[in-house]
């Protein structure tokens, strides 16, 4: 088997990369195979990202978890946002997200205030300190990614960027019911 960059070359698959179409014993279509391979690749990207977020979290505070840094990144990018919206975006239990938000507030990285539209709704925003911290982390990330993309052409990078943007844009239609959804940026009102 030919190996490139420590991975099997195109046309060769790891055993775990073989897709299984829905239904007992049904053969996978080429599209199902391709989607299965993409899912496997995303799993590796997520593992890379998870390990980096965990190390960055430890640099910020020994009690902060990697998921806390992910929550902070989302608050920074999507805020003002509710804990409910974050839970839905991350597909996580609200209690887990709430614990991370409490720690981020304790560290002065997230602020919480009642929505002017509905005082029952608490909106979360990132502080200026959080913005500075995330910019430092972004520079560290960029270095790690530049190393991984060293032999990629500009066209390769643009193709990946465009494909990921299209994929991510397809998930932006998450609707949150109730007052939290009406008061969160991008949900229920014109931006």
pLDDT reported for residue 172: 60
Task: Name the strand (E) or helix (H) holding 113.
Answer: strand 110-114
* CA 34 to each of CA 1, 30, 155, 156: distance values in angstroms, whole numbers, following the listed order: 20, 6, 21, 19
- Range in 11-20, 51-60, 124-133, 155-164 with the lowest mean pLDDT: 11-20
User: End-to-end distance of the chain based on CA atoms, in angstroms?
Assistant: 52
CA pair distance 69, 49, nearest whole angstrom: 11
Q: How confident is residue 15, by pLDDT bands cut at 50, 70 and 90?
A: very low
pLDDT in tens, 136-152: 888 888 888 888 899 99
| Over residues 178-190, mean pLDDT | 45
Q: How confident is residue 48, by pLDDT bands cut at 50, 70 and 90?
A: confident
| Over residues 128-133, mean pLDDT | 95
């Amino acid at each position: 088997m030919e190996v490139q960059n420590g991975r099997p070359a195109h046309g060769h698959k790891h055993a775990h990369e073989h897709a299984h179409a829905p239904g007992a014993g049904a053969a996978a279509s080429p599209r199902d195979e391709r989607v299965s391979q993409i899912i496997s690749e995303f799993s590796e990207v997520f593992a890379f990202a998870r390990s980096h977020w965990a190390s960055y979290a430890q640099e910020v505070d020994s009690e902060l978890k990697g998921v806390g840094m992910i929550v902070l990144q989302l608050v920074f990018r999507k805020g003002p946002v509710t804990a409910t919206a974050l839970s839905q975006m991350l597909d996580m239990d609200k209690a887990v997200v709430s614990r991370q938000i409490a720690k981020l507030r304790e560290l002065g990285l997230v602020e919480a205030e009642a929505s002017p539209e509905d005082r029952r709704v608490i909106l979360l925003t990132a502080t200026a300190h959080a913005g500075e911290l995330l910019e430092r982390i972004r520079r560290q990330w960029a270095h790690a990614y530049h190393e991984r993309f060293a032999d990629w052409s500009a066209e390769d990078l643009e193709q990946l960027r465009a494909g990921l943007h299209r994929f991510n844009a397809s998930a932006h239609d998450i609707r949150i019911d109730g007052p939290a959804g009406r008061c969160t940026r991008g949900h229920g009102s014109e931006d």
